[in-house]
Chain A
Amino acid sequence: MKKENVIEATNLTKIFGDFTAVDAITFEVKKGEIFGFLGANGAGKTTAMKMLIGISIPSDGKATVAGFDVSSHPEDIKKNIGYMSQKFALYDDLTVRENITFFGGIYGLKRSQIKIKSEKLINNLGLQEVANDLVGSLPLGWKQKIAFSVALLHDPKIIFLDEPTGGVDPITRRQFWEMIYQTAHEGTTVFVTTHYMDEAEYCDRVSIMVNGKIEALDTPKKLKEQFEVDNMNDVFLKLARG
């Protein structure tokens, strides 16, 4: 059984002035896949991701996300994806419940739906006691788990995670990845960037960007075979150091 593609990029390119940030990248991501999007700082990951989530128009090439073209239908993409980053996730000066209500509203959920989803989320994460506390007062690991759940409120087809676990303690980092596995298992595609190379091993497939190009794309197992090393860290070092 061939699974459908939920992301298809063909020669996707972004040029700023005389600098080519993303240089004709071509790849596809399948439904329910955990896809790791790696690269050194400045390799073009963030720029590529911005095009895929419909907030930056490609200079050349094309991409479809959840069946919509990123250039012509960015608003449809936004309705069908979830997004969470380390830098921006939730409002610190709103409570947990207020954040859920706010983001539910942004995603166009009805009040009745938001109410049901809020209770479910709060119960799943065991947040009953802090549901009315300001998000800013919670530990980072909790915030990240809540942010992840909030990004899934509207049942998106794909969730984009931009370094979701940076600075998080090792136990919470693993709990976070268990949530990712669970989500992918339920059919949501996960597109994730990380600087933790052990997390790269958790992905079904991994792409590595170097200077705007995708220089490697395969399962972690095959990448390790291809580069004749025994961990993803060494794959990364070999590629990015050239």
Chain B
Amino acid sequence: MSISVQHISKSFKDVSALKDISFEVNEGELFGLIGPDGAGKTTLFRVLTTLLFADEGVATVADYDVVDDYKAIRHSVGYMPGKFSLYQDLTVEENLTFFATIFGTTIEENYDLIKEIYVQIEPFKNRRAGDLSGGMKQKLALSCALIHKPKVLFLDEPTTGVDPVSRKEFWEMLKRLQKKGITILVSTPYMDEAALCDRIALIQDGEILEIDAPESIVNKFPKVLYDVKASNMYQLIKSLKEYEHQYSVYPFGEFVHYTDQRNDFKPAELSNYLKENNLKEITITKTPPTIEDVFMELAK
């Protein structure tokens, strides 16, 4: 087992950030913690990277206890915090050399591992880290987190605020790192990224709502889900919310995702109701649920 978390709880004054969290991450697994800001993701990362004591529970990383063996853990893990935490007034190369040195290694020794990422910022190796663009900072931070060849990599919201193209590239990079045998725990508020993980935990308000493979999680969605569309989105949402049989109504891209309270729901009935509400060009079709649908159902 690469990461084992058993009944971890942590409170800050009267706010409980983590409530009895338990899960395990297998060796070589790409495991996602999926949840919004304030869910407790960062607190959990800080507990696992030995930067914060939990109030209750035990956890091990790479078979080391997070309290007793904290020094061993710090040598075995790479951690990329959500907030850019490198030295802004050191250059790209100086930052990398610094992190290599404190872990008793050199850039050359593990260059293989970071090569693919580092070549993209190497042309700017004499630029100060503070002057890099967001995307380049992210690549430097990942290089620094990898330079000592960690067994486990912790990535706290590496793609927050990053555009869809760069996000896609980042995930392709993670997949390749995983193939090199590194266990990866990654957190994200983007539900579409969940599908790219081997297994995920959905987390909200310090509690885990569900843990499983992404495809198994969507299979657990308890309702039949419909895409509803009409010419006037604002009116459509309003009318659907006022419909007496509605169970959930959520805008979802160009459609509204709709579920009904009844088991014998007939789309034609809903269509008639919407027509009575002066909606036009109505379409109602079954659609497979996404992780986001499941999350909203569990958080409801």
Contact = CB atoms under 8 A, between A and B. Distances in A.
Q: Dominant SS at the A interface?
A: helix
Given A170-B292, A196-B190, 8 more contacts: A39-B163, A41-B135, A139-B38, A195-B162, A201-B253, A202-B251, A236-B164, A236-B165
B299 interface: yes
A200 B272 CA distance: 29
Contacts of B189: 166-169
Contacts of A220: 254
Contacts of A166: 160-161, 189
Given A163-B161, A240-B165, A181 B234 contact: yes
Interface string B193-207: 000000000001000
B191 interface: yes
A171 B296 contact: yes
Contact of B254 (A140, A172, A221): A221
**Residue among A43, A167, A178, A195 facing the most chain B CB atoms (10 A cut-off):** A167
B84 to A, nearest CB: 14
Interface in B124-141: 133-135
A185 B253 contact: no
A198 B300 CA distance: 21
B295 interface: yes
B134 A41 contact: yes
B250 interface: yes
Interface of A: 39-43, 86, 139-141, 163, 166-172, 174, 177-178, 181-182, 184-185, 195-198, 201-202, 220-221, 231-233, 236-237, 240-241
A60 to B, nearest CB: 24
B206 to A, nearest CB: 12
A201 B134 contact: no
Nearest to B291: A170
B11 to A, nearest CB: 15
A232 B163 CA distance: 13
A131 to B, nearest CB: 19
Contacts of A198: 252-253
Nearest 5 pairs between A and B by C-beta? A169-B36, A201-B253, A167-B37, A198-B253, A40-B163
Contacts of A40: 163-166
B233 interface: yes
Contact of B250 (A39, A141, A174, A232): A174
B83 to A, nearest CB: 13
Nearest to B39: A169
Contacts of B204: 169
Contacts of B299: 169-171
A232 B253 CA distance: 9
A233 B251 CA distance: 16
Interface string B102-135: 0000000000000000000000000000000111
Given A40-B166, A41-B133, A181-B233, A168 B161 contact: no
B208 interface: no
A233 B164 contact: yes
A41 B166 contact: yes
Contacts of B92: none
A241 B133 CA distance: 18
Nearest to B82: A167
B161 A42 contact: no
A163 B38 CA distance: 18
B28 to A, nearest CB: 29
B59 interface: no
20 contacts: A41-B134, A41-B135, A41-B162, A86-B161, A139-B38, A140-B36, A166-B189, A167-B157, A170-B292, A170-B295, A171-B296, A171-B299, A178-B237, A185-B234, A195-B162, A195-B163, A197-B253, A231-B253, A233-B192, A241-B165
Contacts of B254: 201, 220-221
B168 interface: yes
Interface centre among B162, B163, B191, B252 (most CB of A within 10 A): B163
